[in-house]
Amino acid sequence: MEKMARVTTALGGNTLTGRTMYCHLDAPANAISVCRDAAQVVVAGRNIFKIYAIEEEQFVEKLNLRVGRKPSLNFSCADVVWHQMDENLLATAATNGVVVTWNLGKPSRNKQDQLFTEHKRTVNKVCFHPTEAYMLLSGSQDGYMKCFDLRKKDSVSTFSGQSESVRDVQFSIRDYFTFAATFENGNVQLWDIRRPDRYERMFTAHNGPVFCCDWHPEDRGWLATGGRDKMVKVWDMNTNRAKEIYCVQSIASVARVKWRPECKHHLATCSMMVDHNIYVWDVRRPYIPSAMFEEHRDVTTGIVWRHLHDPYFLLSGSKDSTLYQHIFKDASQPIERANPEGLCYGLFGDLAFAAKESLVTADSNRKPYPGDRRHPIFFKRKLDPTEQFESVSSSALSVFETEPDSSSMGWFVDTARQYALAGRSLAELCDHNAKVAKELSRNQVAQTWTMLRIIYCSPGTMPSANLNHSIGKGSASLPLMNSFNLKDMASGMGSEARLDWSKGENRSENILLDSSTTLITNDENEETEGSDVPADYLLGDVEGDEDELYLMDHENAHTEEPEYVLPQEAFPLRHEIVDNPSGPDHLQDKADSPHVSGNEAETVSLTPVESFSLISISHTLYESRLPPDFFSALVRDMLRFYAEQGDVQMAVSVLIVLGERIRKEIDEQTQEHWYTSYIDLLQRFRLWNISNQVIKLSTCRAITCLNQASTTLHVNCSNCKRPMSNKGWICDRCRQCASTCAVCHHVVKGLFVWCQGCSHGGHLQHILKWLESSTHCPAGCGHLCEYT
Amino acid sequence: MFVARSIAADHKDLIHDVSFDFHGRRMATCSSDQSVKVWDKSESGDWHCTASWKTHSGSVWRVTWAHPEFGQVLASCSFDRTAAVWEEIVGESNDKLRGQSHWVKRTTLVDSRTSVTDVKFAPKHMGLMLATCSADGVVRIYEAPDVMNLSQWSLQHEISCKLSCSCISWNPSSSRAHSPMIAVGSDDSSPNVSAKVQIYEYNENTRKYAKAESLMTVTDPVHDISFAPNLGRSFHILAVATKDVRIFTLKPVRKELTSSGGPTKFEIHIVAQFDNHNSQVWRVSWNITGTVLASSGDDGCVRLWKANYMDNWKCTGILKGNGSPVNGSSSQQAISNASLGSNNPNLQNSLNGSSASRKHS
């Protein structure tokens, strides 16, 4: 009585005190139970049965109940319960099926009081009646529940669940005669202790075993159940049918559930395997635990609130042989760690933003940031159980869209579409691109293009010939030389001349070399490439011509339509068979390297290019034919600048347009990096054609091979419908020309369109024309072809 | 300039992440209600939920898209200690008729013993790789050796960071000069542990990830971290969401100067630091060119940051979460919607790749 008084005062003084603490047990615990004075706890397990006093700073072992020379199985406990009215009375469920009661008031060392050996298998649970001193209930693996009167030798009544093992039994706190039992088959039964013949009510609560249940300490109708299906369900038993009112989804099977004192909607759970943590849930927010205790290193087997009316102290025992006192202040709160916002930048500058509603609706005069969110002060406030818990949280999702016309990436798409990268003379390309940039009011970029044009195309000799990308090579600004001479000289002084192209560091030499030398270098280079693939070179030339004419017409007419997209694709595509375009150059590089040292002597007296600024280059310098290479350092730096600014588009476009003029100035790896970045961007915007064009025009081997990798076309013969193994036009099985046009009966070289239904087809134009007038296959097979 | 389009997400609890796909046409959201939703943009610009399904048995922290080359693939990670990979199934079904698509789980990654806090696909050029980080401080890198088989993932690397991890970011650079790199942020709240951002780099010789750098100046819990799209830059830009927004640049010191074989050394500069959110910053996200940073904080606002030609980062816009005007009094840089409008040309201009003012440089 004296002890009780003390505790009451303690609670009247508003708290239990203590800290998060633990003690090592000798063996894994199976269950724990607390004395009603909240000052002692009993720990029971297969090899342990001890009482600890809970002191301010530590647990102190008070009593070992496992006594005797050879401990009997009666000491091996599956469950333990301390009577909530009689401080001296304990009951255990032994693993051998015996229910044992213990009287701490006994003077002898062995406190064992009574032994009930009625169950045939393990007893899973024992439970004292909350108000009746002598009434004890047990539930066993054998499927029976028994009610004992401790004044009698045998059970007073036996209840048969008529189903599988009983996992838990709990007296209702409010209804004197009622108890709940949970079963391995997922059922929950309600019994009246006066009627052992049949249950009052039964319902299926879970999918799989129901491991535990707990009556709400205040709300008489509420029963919480936990099962292997990882769910905790709260049932309202007041109605005729048990109604599920809350369902909490945990991450592992639920082994124990305990309502939190003084907090109507809170309950604590622990799990049977995998998960060693103890969670405290607000059932109204069923997805995320409001608190979490992570101390245990093995499965938590028993949890109990230290005092009936104190929500801050939780005791737990575990298979890791520790006994813990958890203090709420030290709990981790997943909600606090949880990110309340999501934010993502879209492609066109649109922003998706999801935020906790309370954050976005909060008035703007909210208090300033008070320091770390997990500051202890916050905890105290947050965890005040009387405070209405933020039960339902939801987020507001919105997308901030840029207005279509002001789309912040529109410039990129427009630029990519409208830039001309090849197919015309350098000057025209520059002019065109400058115009494009200007129209998109990107003045700096426009300026850059104009400068490039001035640098690389001398104003006097405006290009009139077909100097497209692949053959321009800077010769525009220089007098043409006889090709015979070129060839002769190529062998003679090739090595020396090529030096100019070899390395970025050597760029400044060019100002010493006279222009004719440079010229030779250029043209020689070009010639070498040309002679490697003469046929293709020729074809390319012709095609370039066509392009040229076509484009020139546009230019001259000053057509209203400012963008002509991908001029090359206006013509039937002809795959350029270039096995390894950068191969020869690469070899040249290598061949050059030995010569570099030899030429070093000539280059020592160089004036550093850096001393010239772009502005200081006056017009007269052009007149004196300053070789364009003079500027390459500047241009290189300019490209780098654009790349560093995130405008890789400019870097790559200039790289392509200038081609050989600048390529050697920038190391292959950087170029490759720019190309891959730009291609990735283009693909993001689904500018497939442009990305393909860029790949095609690139001079990096790693890039050009992107187009050649993993593209396989499987072709079947349209006659015999079997796969064509060889590459020719004739099917080797039926000896027929495979890809003849169904309309004109000529072999189709170029774009071949065919029906996937009947495999007939032909020239795109022919088929289109045909399908305008007829819906049937032109081959007469009767198939209804469709061109979409 | 910005029009707020509010979407009835209908998630039953907090949304923790939103993510656009590679092309910006699809969006995924994940929530504590254990579900992921996929949204598709219609021609008219509306977002329609085309899939919603339960993904985990705990809060879903993050959702992320794989490069479309690997199919329509999502990865999610959760409080339930797992990460999962999902693939959209194309086929004839009743779902199709209702405008719903079907997602199937391809794999569950169960190596973590604690909450998996972030999941990110590696840049495409590295193949089909996935990194996760967990609350117990382990970063795991998985690889699907066969890109056609999304159900087979092998755990390639386990990096122990010693600190509870909250976020990761791959360096997106496709340059061969930059080895694969991953930045890890920690939300460990103990003040005595410094350097809440660690950067790990893949070493070709040892075939392992090794710590390259720690950002010693970041000592507060980090909630989000993000490398800017690289786009041909020689250096890297890293944004960190902690109690303020911070932007770092990492310039690789040339390999020749460092001892060969060791991790790359970086010159690290903090180029910007903003406490305008006046509170915890939760998210940072870069625009596609890595020129504008968006951040969101406890004040419920999204702020946009951009560097001018002097490389001074400035706030160029504030967006209120519910689309309402921002009250100018809350901070000196706050701009009401009206003045945001006048601010637009600025932003617009500067977004055009290079600001006009830079012409003089």
- CB contacts of B14 in chain A (<8 Å) are 288, 338, 340, 356, 393-395
Q: Residue A621: inside a domain, yes or no?
A: no
Residue in A closest to B110 by C-alpha: A274
Does the beta-carbon distance from A394 to B13 stay under 8 Å? yes
Structure confidence by residue, pLDDT tens digits, B100-121: 888 999 999 999 989 999 999 9
Decide: helix, strand or coil at residue A446: helix
pLDDT band at B347 (very low <50, low <70, confident <90, very high): very low
Tell me the mean pLDDT in the region A304-313: 89
- Angstrom CA distances, A311 to A225, A267, A332, A727, B315, stand at 20, 10, 16, 81, 46
Distance in Å, alpha carbon of A342 to nearest chain B alpha carbon: 4
Angle between helices A443-456 and A426-439 (to 10 degrees): 170
Q: Residue A669: inside a domain, yes or no?
A: yes
Distance in Å, alpha carbon of B298 to nearest chain A alpha carbon: 6
- CB contacts of B125 in chain A (<8 Å) are 676
Residues A173, A179, A180, CA angle at the centre, nearest 5°? Answer: 110
- CB contacts of B326 in chain A (<8 Å) are 364
- What is the C-alpha separation between B316 and B305, in angstroms, rounded? 6
ipTM of the complex: 0.87
Q: Residue A271: is its pLDDT beyond 70?
A: yes
Residue that is last in its domain, among A351, A384, A400:
A400
Does the beta-carbon distance from B353 to A649 stay under 8 Å? yes
- CB contacts of B174 in chain A (<8 Å) are 673, 676-677, 680
Does the beta-carbon distance from B4 to A362 stay under 8 Å? no
- CB contacts of B12 in chain A (<8 Å) are 287, 394
- CB contacts of B40 in chain A (<8 Å) are none
Q: Residue A686: inside a domain, yes or no?
A: yes
B38 phi-psi bin (left φ>0, alpha ψ -120 to 50, beta other): beta
- Angstrom CA distances, A606 to A415, A609, A630, stand at 39, 8, 12
Q: What is the pLDDT of residue A619?
A: 44
Q: Residue A322: is its pLDDT beyond 70?
A: yes
Does the beta-carbon distance from B283 to A250 stay under 8 Å? no
Structure confidence by residue, pLDDT tens digits, A621-634: 444 556 666 778 88
Is residue A445 located within the same domain as residue A377?
no
User: What is the count of residue pairs from A and B with beta carbons less than 8 Å apart?
Assistant: 306
Contact of A164 with A181, CB cutoff 8 Å: no
Q: Which of B268, B312, B270, B305 is nearest to B284 (CA)?
A: B305
Q: Residue A353: is its pLDDT beyond 50?
A: yes
Q: What is the pLDDT of residue B9?
A: 86
Residue that is last in its domain, among A667, A688, A709:
A709
Is residue A701 located within the same domain as residue A638?
yes
Q: For the residues of A459-523, what is the DSSP string, one character each? A: SSS---S---TTT-TTGGGS----HHHHHHHHHHHHHHHHHHHH-GGGGGGGGTS-HHHHHHHHH
Between A702 and B73, name the one with better pLDDT. B73
Q: In what order do the strands lie in the sheet with A266-271?
A: A254-259, A266-271, A278-282, A291-293
pTM above 0.80, yes or no: no
Q: What is the pLDDT of residue A544?
A: 37
pLDDT band at B258 (very low <50, low <70, confident <90, very high): very low
Q: Residue B306: is its pLDDT beyond 60?
A: yes
Is residue A434 located within the same domain as residue A395?
no
- CB contacts of A342 in chain B (<8 Å) are 15-19, 29, 283
- CB contacts of B175 in chain A (<8 Å) are 669-670, 672-673, 676
- Angstrom CA distances, A341 to A788, B30, B229, B243, B273, stand at 44, 11, 22, 15, 20
The number of residues in chain B equals 361
Q: Which structure tokens are listed for B78?
A: 């959760």
Residue A362: burial class (beta carbons within 10 Å; 0-12, 13-18, 19+): middle
Distance in Å, alpha carbon of B335 to nearest chain A alpha carbon: 13
Q: Residue A597: is its pLDDT beyond 50?
A: no
Does the beta-carbon distance from A366 to B299 stay under 8 Å? yes
Residue that is last in its domain, among A709, A731, A761:
A709
Residues B151, B157, B162, CA angle at the centre, nearest 5°? Answer: 125
Distance in Å, alpha carbon of B213 to nearest chain A alpha carbon: 22
Does the beta-carbon distance from B5 to A400 stay under 8 Å? yes
Q: Residue A435: inside a domain, yes or no?
A: yes
Best mutation target, B2, B6, B14, to test chain A (most A CBs within 10 A): B14
Residue with tokens 């039992």: A181
Does the beta-carbon distance from A350 to B24 stay under 8 Å? yes
Is residue A636 located within the same domain as residue A671?
yes
Q: What is the pLDDT of residue A207?
A: 92
Give the per-residue SS3 of A190-213: EEECCCCCCCCEEEECCCCCEEEE
Q: Residue A555: inside a domain, yes or no?
A: no
Q: What percent of chain A has pLDDT over 90?
A: 24
- CB contacts of B17 in chain A (<8 Å) are 339, 342, 354
Distance in Å, alpha carbon of A341 to nearest chain B alpha carbon: 6
- Say which of A287, A395, A643 has its CB closest to residue B232: A643
- What is the C-alpha separation between A222 and B95, in angstroms, rounded? 39
Least confident of A79-93, A113-127, A329-343, B331-345: B331-345
Q: For the residues of B14-32, what is the DSSP string, one character each? A: -EEEEEE-TTSSEEEEEET
Structure confidence by residue, pLDDT tens digits, B221-240: 999 999 999 888 889 999 99
- What is the C-alpha separation between A623 and A609, in angstroms, rounded? 19
Structure confidence by residue, pLDDT tens digits, B131-169: 999 998 999 999 999 988 999 999 999 999 988 999 999
- What is the C-alpha separation between A160 and A191, in angstroms, rounded? 10
Residue in A closest to B164 by C-alpha: A337
Q: Which domain holds residue A446?
A: 425-457+628-709
Q: Residue A433: inside a domain, yes or no?
A: yes
Residue B302: burial class (beta carbons within 10 Å; 0-12, 13-18, 19+): buried
- What is the C-alpha separation between A276 and A290, in angstroms, rounded? 16
**Mean of all residue pLDDT scores within chain A:** 74
In this structure, the dihedral spanned by the alpha carbons of residues B253, B254, B260 and B265, taken in order and rounded to 10 degrees, is 10
Is residue A429 located within the same domain as residue A387?
no
- CB contacts of A400 in chain B (<8 Å) are 2-5, 302, 319, 323
- What is the C-alpha separation between A238 and A235, in angstroms, rounded? 9
H or E element at residue A704: helix A701-704
- CB contacts of A250 in chain B (<8 Å) are 57
Q: Which structure tokens are listed for B265?
A: 């050394």
- Say which of A442, A685, A686 has its CB closest to residue B352: A442
Structure confidence by residue, pLDDT tens digits, B4-13: 888 888 898 8
- What is the C-alpha separation between A163 and A179, in angstroms, rounded? 17
Best mutation target, A283, A345, A415, to test chain B (most B CBs within 10 A): A345
Domain count, chain A: 2
Q: Residue A694: inside a domain, yes or no?
A: yes
- What is the C-alpha separation between A549 and B150, in angstroms, rounded? 51
Best mutation target, A294, A378, A408, to test chain B (most B CBs within 10 A): A408
Does the beta-carbon distance from A395 to B221 stay under 8 Å? no
Q: What is the pLDDT of residue A700?
A: 79
Structure confidence by residue, pLDDT tens digits, A139-173: 999 899 999 998 988 889 999 988 789 999 999 98
Q: Residue A509: inside a domain, yes or no?
A: no
pLDDT band at A404 (very low <50, low <70, confident <90, very high): low
Residue B326 DSSP label? P
Does the beta-carbon distance from B57 to A646 stay under 8 Å? no
Strand segments, DSSP code E, in A6-122 are 21-24, 31-34, 40-44, 49-54, 59-64, 77-82, 89-94, 99-103, 112-116
- Say which of A354, A359, A372 has its CB closest to residue B18: A354
pLDDT band at A523 (very low <50, low <70, confident <90, very high): very low
- CB contacts of B31 in chain A (<8 Å) are 395
Q: Residue B295: is its pLDDT beyond 80?
A: yes
**Mean of all residue pLDDT scores within chain B:** 83
- Angstrom CA distances, A681 to A707, B238, B289, B302, B347, stand at 16, 19, 9, 25, 21
Best mutation target, A275, A290, A299, A344, to test chain B (most B CBs within 10 A): A344
- CB contacts of B353 in chain A (<8 Å) are 411-412, 442, 445, 642, 645-647, 649-650
Q: Residue B315: is its pLDDT beyond 80?
A: yes
- What is the C-alpha separation between B282 and A418, in angstroms, rounded? 40
Count CB neighbours of A693 within 10 A.
23
Does the beta-carbon distance from B9 to A395 stay under 8 Å? yes
Q: Which of A645, A152, A117 is nearest to B228 (CA)?
A: A645
Distance in Å, alpha carbon of B208 to nearest chain A alpha carbon: 23
- Say which of A251, A361, A396 has its CB closest to residue B81: A251
Termini Cα distance of chain A: 93
Residue in A closest to B232 by C-alpha: A674
- Say which of B22, B294, B327 has its CB closest to residue A343: B294
Is residue A665 located within the same domain as residue A701?
yes
pLDDT band at A753 (very low <50, low <70, confident <90, very high): confident
Residue with tokens 């002769």: A488
Count CB neighbours of A6 within 10 A.
12
- Angstrom CA distances, B153 to B132, B141, B201, B204, stand at 13, 10, 21, 21
Is residue A389 located within the same domain as residue A446?
no
- CB contacts of A232 in chain B (<8 Å) are none
